[in-house]
A and B are shown apart, each in its own frame.
Chain A
Amino acid sequence: DAGVIQSPRHEVTEMGQEVTLRCKPISGHDYLFWYRQTMMRGLELLIYFNNNVPIDDSGMPEDRFSAKMPNASFSTLKIQPSEPRDSAVYFCASSFDYNEQFFGPGTRLTVL
């Protein structure tokens, strides 16, 4: 079975542009998580979904960030407008119930 799939793997954009990160969770998993990893702040949970419904978005840094999960096999994380401080690696992870989370390969975002 394929693992968590993320695209793109790398994204370089200019400040002010819209960025959309995509994630396909493992089939059958009912939880989906978006994380951000930086040297300064480590690994932070941004938002997570259960059965496509957002459960906790308290980690979303500000209104420029939004996430959707229109169906069980797809989620997006959007940043509009992007800023240089958004540069980070963004991970998507999925799990079945309270079990271990499986992470995607990450998207390395650079905002110039």
Chain B
Amino acid sequence: AQKITQTQPGMFVQEKEAVTLDCTYDTSDPSYGLFWYKQPSSGEMIFLIYQGSYDQQNATEGRYSLNFQKARKSANLVISASQLGDSAMYFCALPTSGTYKYIFGTGTRLKVLA
């Protein structure tokens, strides 16, 4: 069965520094995708970045990038040059096999310090 794990309940980072949020997963699917979402204190879920298992390169979107290590089954989110507005909960998600259902991790709460 699919499983997704975020082991860091909370993280702190100094403004302008980079931070890595961990996400490991388990799936038996030969082809899959991983999604990252941000949930600020206002509550909405904001899509950040997607990584396909067969993508040749790690995904990047502005200051967000994925450190995708397929053999280790990890898809860590890297935020470069952290900003105060990056303070939020971050979730990774994995669609379950053969469906459009996401399994979400438990999230990591990031606090950016001025």
A→B interface (CB under 8 Å)? 31, 33, 42-43, 45, 48, 50, 55-56, 89, 91, 93, 95, 98-106, 108
The secondary structure that dominates the B interface is strand
Closest to A30 in B: B100
Q: Give the residues from 35 to 69 in chain B that come closer than 8 angstroms, CB to CB, to chain A.
A: 35, 37, 43-47, 50
* A contact residues around B102 at 8 Å (CB): 45, 101
Closest to A47 in B: B101
Asked if B10 is an interface residue, CB under 8 A from chain A, the answer is: no
Closest to B36 in A: A100
| Interface size counted on chain B using CB atoms at 8 A | 18
Asked if residues A48 and B106 are in contact (CB atoms below 8 Å), the reply is: no
Of A50, A56, A108, most B-chain CB atoms within 10 Å: A56
Asked if residues A103 and B100 are in contact (CB atoms below 8 Å), the reply is: no
